[in-house]
Amino acid sequence: MSVIPSTAGNGTRVALDELISLAALAHGASLARSRRSPAMRSGGHASRWRGRGVDFRESRIYQPGDEIRHMDWRVTARSGRPHTKLFEEEREQGLLLTLDCNPGMRFGTRVRFKSVQAARAAALLAWMASASGDRVGALAFGGGVDGEVKPAGGRRGVLRVLRAIRDWDAAADASLREPLSRALSRVRRLLRPGMRLVLLTDGFSADAEAATLLPQIAGRHEVAVVMLRDMLELVAPPPGRYALHLGVEKRIVDFADGKVRGAWSERFAASRETLRASCAKLGIRTLELDGHADLRRALGPLLARSLHSPVVA
């Protein structure tokens, strides 16, 4: 659903130059829990899980089922007891941005559409992740869009993501919808060990099946949800008749009707509750983001500023 804008252009479509310019806003901040300096290459993260990986960790007494090829013969000979080598898997830190392009995202009454603010938030997170040496990828769903950008590092990797976000926004069909569950199935295939997931959505695409897939993802990866919203979804507008677009359909809504006003915000809240409840149960961090909000302030819980970064008013 989208309000007919009074002037075409600003705030209704994603602009690549604006996404690129957000690199300046990312200066001095990085994604929370990132401990590396920008100079370090990706792939330098040790896993919390022991396994047969790339770096030798220690030797321990042989246990039934251990592979003979990993026997530590020197320690075995020295101790007189069979020992096997343990390795620690090196995991590549990365960020996968998943953007909801469903028709509900093309809505906004203050400054910009939710779809545009989601793109801006994704761009800022991408720049910050890249500055920390992380690889960045993206996935889109809804509106007939099913694009993917495999994670890549550096400025070039971020630019690939930003161009894709711009193209997905332009290609989204306001008559086509896709449930979140289908997107999460694709997310599981694209995520690699050590990667984090940030989902940017208004929550209206959440379905029952998505609630069964989220635990599988959250059990292996750090997940955060940025939930886009518009003030008109929270509080009904003043009494009057308003022209709204519902996909390709135009409707006139009479907010002078008390029943319409009373049910308005409740309907939007109920549509988001499925996703919010699933996230709360799993301990997934959820942030609310308005279309007119200051990005760096609103995304603060996801960000870790350096000691030398300027304070943003």
CB 133, CB 31: distance < 8 Å: no
CB 122, CB 16: distance < 8 Å: no
Collapse the DSSP code of 12 into the 3-class scheme (helix H, G, I; strand E, B; otherwise coil) and give the result. Answer: coil
Q: pLDDT (tens digit, 9 = 90+) per residue, 32-50?
A: 663 333 333 334 444 433 3
Residue 90: pLDDT band (50, 70, 90) is very low
* Separate counts of helices (H) and strands (E) for the chain: 9, 14
Residue 150: pLDDT band (50, 70, 90) is very high
Q: pLDDT (tens digit, 9 = 90+) per residue, 2-26?
A: 443 433 346 899 999 999 999 998 8
CB 218, CB 282: distance < 8 Å: yes
What does the block give as tokens for 250? 């135009």
Q: pLDDT (tens digit, 9 = 90+) per residue, 262-275?
A: 788 888 888 889 89
Instruction: Indicate if the pLDDT at residue 197 is higher than 60.
Output: yes
What does the block give as tokens for 86? 């343990």
Collapse the DSSP code of 219 into the 3-class scheme (helix H, G, I; strand E, B; otherwise coil) and give the result. Answer: coil
What gap in Å lies between CA 118 and CA 55, rounded to an integer? 39
Q: pLDDT (tens digit, 9 = 90+) per residue, 102-148?
A: 999 999 988 999 999 999 999 999 999 999 889 999 999 999 999 99
Residue 194: pLDDT band (50, 70, 90) is confident
Q: pLDDT (tens digit, 9 = 90+) per residue, 201-228?
A: 999 999 999 999 999 999 999 999 999 9
Give me the amino acid identity at 40. Answer: M
Which pTM does this prediction carry?
A: 0.76
DSSP labels for 112-142?
S-HHHHHHHHHHHHHHHHHHTT-EEEEEEEB
Instruction: Indicate if the pLDDT at residue 310 is higher than 50.
Output: no
**Per-domain boundaries in the chain:** 2-26+93-305
CATH no., domain 2-26+93-305: 3.40.50.410
